[in-house]
Amino acid sequence: MERFQVVVIGSGPGGYVAAIRAAQLGFSVALVERYPSLGGTCLNVGCIPSKALLDSSEKYYEAAKHLADHGIQIPSVSVDWSKMLARKAQVVKQTVGGIEFLMKKNKIAVYHGHGRLRSANEIAVEGGPVLYGEHIIIATGSKPSPLPGVPIDKKRVITSTEALSLSEIPGRLVIIGGGVIGVEMASIFGRLGSAVTIVEFLDRLLPGMDAEAAEEVRRMLTTDYGAKILLGHAAQGVEMRGEIVKVQVAPRQGGSVQEIEADYVLVAVGRRPYTEGLELEKAGLSVDERGRIPVNEHLQTAVPHIYAIGDVIRGPMLAHKASEDGIYVAERLAGRRPHLDYRQIPGVVYIWPEVAGVGYTEEELKQEGRPYRVGKFPYRASGRARAAHETRGFVKIIADAKTDMLLGMHVVGPRAADLIAVGVAGLAYGASAEDIFRLPLAHPTFSEALKEAALAASEGAPIHL
C-alpha cells in the first residue's frame, strides 16, 4: 500500500488543480485517472477541443462572409475539415502534455487506472497499487445525460464527444437540447455549412442565462447560419433508416408529431454526475436523487476527510467552478480560510459574438421579488465596435434599486468572455454600479460599454446614447 496525505480521484480541471494546489501547500499527493490522458472532460472532449473548432470555424466564416466588408477580397475560401480536426487534436495534445509536465514539476504521483474506494481511506487502482489517503478528494466529473427513446449509437446518434471528431461535416444535423453545448455545436457546424435544427424543450435557448441574451442568440443562429430552432418542442424518439436518422419531434404542450430527417443527431440535454464503479458505499457514501455526491459548505462529504468537487457535486457544471472547488479544498486542508461563492462564477457561451453573464439575472431577481435597476448599452453605439464592424450585442448591468450594489452583468458582444472579468471582480469586491462607471477604461475599447451600462444602471442614462 502506498500512502499519501491527499489522494485525488479524477484528473479534470477539478482534480488536477486540487492536486497541484495541495502539492504547492506541502502535501504529498497522488492523482488517479482512469484514462491514459490527463485533463478530464474539459481538456480532452470538452472546453479545449470545442473552443479549437469554434475558433477555426469562426475564422472560416469571417473569411467567407465578412472580410469583404473590410475591403479584403479572397477569391475562394474552402474548409479542409481533416486539417481542422488535426489542429484541434494538436491543441488537445499540447494542453494535456502541459498537465503531465505540471504533475512532474509538482512531484504528484500519477496512477492511470480506474479508482475504487475499498474503505474510507483506501483506493484500489485497477491494474495498480492500493493507495492510502489521509484525505481523499473525489473529482470524477460527469457524463452526457441519456434521453429516453433516443439511444446513442455514437455513429449517427451522438454526444458532444463524437461531434468533436466526426469524419465529415454533417449535411443535416439535428441537435436535441438548446443549452450551451447545443448552441456552441450549432455555431460550429452552421458556419461550416450544415443545415442545423435545434429542438429545445423550453420556450427559450440557454436556460439560466439572461433571457434577452438568449433571444439575441436565437436571432443570430437563425439569421447567420439559417438554423431552424424549434422552441417548446421535445424529441420523442429516433428511427434509423440506413445512414439516415428520423427524429420524431412534438410540441411540449401536445400536438402533432413531426418527423425530421438528419444525417446526424446530437443529444445535448445536460450532463449527469459520474460515480460509476467508484464503490462509494465501501466508504460509507451515497449519492442524492440527481446522482450528485452530497457535500456541506466546506465540500466535505458525509465522511469528513473525504471531499468532493466539480461536476460530481452541486453547482454549475463548469471547468473554472471545478477548479475553484479544488483550490478551496486544498487550502482548507492546509488550514487556510478561503471562501467560495457560486454566484460569482461566470458563464460563457463561446459563439461569436460571445455571450457571458455573472451574478443574478433579471428573471431570478423578479422571482425573489428584489427591486433592481437595469442599465443597457448597445454595441452599435460604441466607436471601437464600429471600427471593428462588430456592432451586434449589448452590455446589461443590474444593480440593487436601493443601494446601487452590482447584482449582475450580462454581455453579448465581441470579447464578452474576457470583459465579464470586470463583473466578476465587481461582485467579488462588493462594487456598486457607480464604481464600475468610475473605472477609467481605455478608449477605444469594447470595455467602455461596461462603463456606459453602469452609468445607465446607476443614474438612468449613458453618455454616448
| Catalytic residue set | 443
Residues 328-357 binding ligand FAD (CB under 6 A) are: 350
**Residues facing residue 6 across a β-bridge:** 29, 135
User: Binding partner of residue 310 among ligand FAD, ligand NAI, none, CB under 5 to 8 Å per kind?
Assistant: ligand FAD
- Give the CA diameter of the chain: 68
User: What mask of x and - would describe binding to ligand NAI in positions 282 to 321, judged by CB under 6 A?
Assistant: ----------------------------------xxx---
349, 365, 409, 457: residue in contact with ligand NAI (rule CB under 6 A) = 349
Omega into 444 within 30° of 0, i.e. cis? yes
Asked if residue 147 binds ligand NAI (CB under 6 A), the reply is yes
Is the Cβ of residue 123 or residue 317 nearer to ligand NAI in the bound state?
A: 317
Residues 6+ apart with CB under 8 A from 156: 240, 243, 245, 263, 264, 265
- 179: contact with ligand NAI by CB under 6 A: yes
* Contacting residue, 133, 141, 170, 357, with ligand FAD by CB under 6 A: 141
Smallest separation (angstroms) from ligand NAI to the CB of 210: 14
- Which one of 308, 318, 329, 330 is in contact with ligand FAD (CB under 6 A)? 318
Q: Does 325 bind ligand NAI (CB under 6 A)?
A: no
Q: Please select the residue that binds ligand NAI; options are 176, 188, 245, 449, rule is CB under 6 A.
A: 176
Nearer to ligand NAI, 120 or 231 (CB): 231
Q: Which of 296, 329, 294 is nearest to 313 (CA)?
A: 294
Cα separation values, 334 from 18, 183, 263, Å:
12, 41, 53
Find which of ligand NAI, ligand FAD, none residue 322 binds, CB within 5 to 8 Å per kind.
Answer: ligand FAD
Binding partner selected for residue 176 from ligand NAI, ligand FAD, none, CB under the kind-specific 5 to 8 Å limit: ligand NAI
Q: What type of residue sits at position 250?
A: A
**Closest-CB residue for ligand NAI?**
179
Q: Which does 268 bind (CB under 5 to 8 A by kind): ligand FAD, ligand NAI, none?
A: ligand NAI
Residue 177 or 408 having the CB closest to ligand FAD:
177
Task: Indicate which single residue of 60, 350, 352, 394 sits in contact with ligand NAI (rule: CB under 6 A).
Answer: 350
Which of residues 8, 158, 247, 268 is near ligand NAI by CB under 6 A?
A: 268
Burial of 424 (0-12, 13-18, 19+ CB in 10 A): middle
* CB nearer to ligand NAI: pick between 32 and 266: 266
All cell numbers assigned to 175: 441537435
Stretch that binds ligand NAI, among 197-205, 287-295, 302-310, 374-382 (CB under 6 A): 197-205
Q: How distant is the alpha carbon of residue 31 from its chain centre? A: 24
Buried b (16+ CB within 10 A) or exposed e, 278-293: bbbeebebebeeeebb
Q: CA torsion angle for 452, 455, 457, 459 (degrees, to 10)?
A: -140
Q: Which residues, listed in sequence order, are joined to residue 197 by a DSSP beta bridge?
A: 174, 228
Backbone angles phi, psi at 170, to 5 degrees: -60, 140
- For residue 103, with 0-12 CB atoms within 10 Å meaning exposed, 13-18 middle and 19 or more buried, which class applies? buried
By CB under 6 A, tell whether 46 contacts ligand FAD: yes
Q: How far apart are CA 176 and CA 152, in angstroms?
A: 12
Which of 3, 26, 35, 252 forms a contact with ligand FAD (CB under 6 A)? 35
Residue 118 grid coordinates: 475499498
**Contact at 8 Å (CB) between 290 and 145?**
no
Residue type, 82: S
Q: Judged by CB under 6 A, does residue 283 bind ligand FAD?
A: no
Binding footprint of ligand NAI on the chain (CB under 6 A): 147, 176-182, 184, 199-202, 207, 234-235, 268-271, 316-318, 348-350
Binding footprint of ligand FAD on the chain (CB under 6 A): 9-15, 32-35, 40-42, 46-47, 50-51, 114-115, 139-142, 160, 181, 274, 277-278, 310-311, 317-320, 322, 350
